[in-house]
Amino acid sequence: MDTRPYEDSMLFMGILSSRGFPSTLRERLESLFGPIDMVSDRIPFTFTDYYSSEMGEGIERFLISFSRLLPPDRLAAVKTETNLIEMEYAEEGKRRINLDPGLITESSIILATTKNRAHRIAIGMSMYAEVTLIYHRSGFEAFPWTYQDYRSPEMQEVLREMRKHYLVLRKEGQRV
């Protein structure tokens, strides 16, 4: 049987927040997942009002990435941790910060979720993953299920920059 180790991926997170990026949250994430090496500009989250009743007005989306690469089979554990962190920042039972961890690979953007759908694969710990975008030629291509914000030119530009950085880190052999 010919098996090969997984190729390491770059952990990133999409963060939805009406509270910005508290330094305590940054410290907590770095204590678990290593140094944050990129923080994108904030993009107003106007793609849906799905989170408004829970998070209030003025929700912004931004992306962060981590400099330590990790094997992709760690994604379920990361999502479990981020769900717990979301509850730490909740007020009156409502999330004020939403953390959506994912992986950047050479060819794709993969997001973790707790919700099962036809296009998602179980990855353990009651978590699922989906390929949200694929990289083809010089940019990302979406699927019918790709979230609207991940289709936006602003988000795709950030993801392209993170992917470039990932390729450099992978070449240097960075790892958890």
In a domain, 4, yes or no: no
Ranges assigned E (strand) in the chain: 9-17, 36-39, 43-44, 60-70, 97-104, 108-113, 121-124, 127-136, 139-142
In a domain, 62, yes or no: yes
pLDDT at 1: 80
In a domain, 1, yes or no: no
pTM: 0.95
Number of domains within the chain? 1
Own/partner pairs, 140-146, CB within 8 angstroms, 24+ separation: 140/109, 143/119, 145/117, 145/119
pLDDT at 175 over 70: no
Band of pLDDT at residue 150, cut at 50, 70 and 90 = very high
SS (H, E, C) 127-174: EEEEEEEEEECCEEEECCCCCHHHHCHHHHHHHHHHHHHHHHHHHHCC
Range of the domain at 75: 9-172
In a domain, 2, yes or no: no
In a domain, 147, yes or no: yes
pLDDT at 174 over 70: no
In a domain, 64, yes or no: yes
In a domain, 148, yes or no: yes
In a domain, 135, yes or no: yes
